[in-house]
Amino acid sequence: MKVVVLVGGVGGAKLAYGLAQVLPPNDLTVIVNTADDLWLYGLRVCPDLDTIMYTLSGLVDKTNGWGISGDTRNTLNVLSRYGEDTWFGLGDQDMATHILRTRMLQAGYTLTEVTERLTKSLGISQRVLPMTDVPVATIVDTKEHGELEFQEYFVRHRWQPTVTGLRFAGIEQAVMNEAVESALTQAEIMLIGPSNPWLSIDPILAVPGMREAIQARSVPRVAVSPIVGGTAIKGPAAKLMAELGYEVSAEAVALYYGNLINGFVYDQMDAGLNIPISQTANFETIMKTDEDKVLLAQNVLDWIQKWV
């Protein structure tokens, strides 16, 4: 049962981890947002790809949901001593990822090829694919500071500015690469992780041809709501929805995805909501432990197989 899951950061990575435990490795492909990527200290940092890699390999710092467990910040401290503005935290183990990725990109490898090398080295057997090999950058328009690069908004300003709009710089030039296209063509189930629909999933869908390639498939296309009980589990999803004029609810998320999806999973806390999607189910979607992740993945897959 070939499964493709679209993900951004921590929430999506947790579901991907659950899926990786219940599916044969060859059956799972994770397509990852890269519009959060940035250059830091001359190194190419891909926060969402890294979160997926560290989560699937078990290296992840489970308290934060990102970074490597037990990592130190010795490089960063010396960069700070050298007068660098070290507003974006990078651990020493983590740094190896950025150093190797940068060297390989500069040597002409694609981000897809780099990611394959990194994931294989970490013992990850699932396919982890960047949404595109072309650099794309989410630009957040804010009331207080005007346009901010995504990580400026997200990390430096701790997503406190009021968002008035979003755009994905470079998206017109983005190309869906062959590996992504082939994964979408072969998928028997398509999932959208409980990631931020505007910040994590929209950039993926905005890659030219991506939305059409997904929608063209008459297979289960199921999103998992990142909004539970009218708020977000983590991060700015709820705040952003309100700022963009949406009602903050799982229902509004389902409406936003619209006919891109034909199935929707939301939290059992929200049972009773009127979700205007043909197939819906509610489960415990808050993933605190590894068991929670596996259980949600299993529940979603079991439920989909019943209605297929």
Tokens of 250: 């799982």
CB of 172: closest distance to a second copy in angstroms? 27
The reply on whether position 47 binds a second copy by CB under 8 A is: no
CB of 79 to a second copy, least distance (A): 4
108 forms part of the interface with a second copy (CB under 8 A) = no
Is residue 205 within 8 Å of residue 164, measured between CB atoms? no
Q: Which is nearer to a second copy, 91 or 197 (CB)?
A: 91
Count CB-CB contacts under 10 A for residue 96.
12
Burial class (CB in 10 A: 0-12, 13-18, 19+), 108: exposed
Q: Which residues contact 152 (CB under 8 A, 6 or more apart)?
A: 140
* Cα–Cα distance measured from residue 17 to residue 5, given in angstroms and rounded to the nearest whole number: 11
Nearer to a second copy, 72 or 182 (CB): 72
78 versus 244: smaller Cβ distance to a second copy: 78
Q: Does residue number 28 form part of the binding site for a second copy (CB under 8 A)?
A: no
What is the longest distance spanned by two Cα atoms in the chain?
Answer: 59
Contacts of 11 (CB under 8 A, 6+ apart): 193, 194, 195, 196, 226, 233, 234, 235, 287
Q: Which is nearer to a second copy, 43 or 219 (CB)?
A: 43
Q: Verify binding: residue 26, a second copy, rule CB under 8 A.
A: no
162 touches a second copy (CB under 8 A): no
Closest CB 101 distance from a second copy, rounded Å: 9
* Token digits of residue 297: 């993945």
Q: Does 121 bind a second copy (CB under 8 A)?
A: yes
Describe the strand order of the beta sheet including 163-169 as a list of residue ranges: 146-149, 137-142, 163-169
CB of 144 to a second copy, least distance (A): 29
290 binds a second copy (CB under 8 A): no
Contact track, a second copy, 72-101, x by CB under 8 A: x-xxxxxx-xxxx------xxxxxxx-xx-
| Interacting residues with a second copy (CB under 8 A) | 41-43, 68, 71-72, 74-79, 81-84, 91-97, 99-100, 102-103, 106, 117-118, 121-122
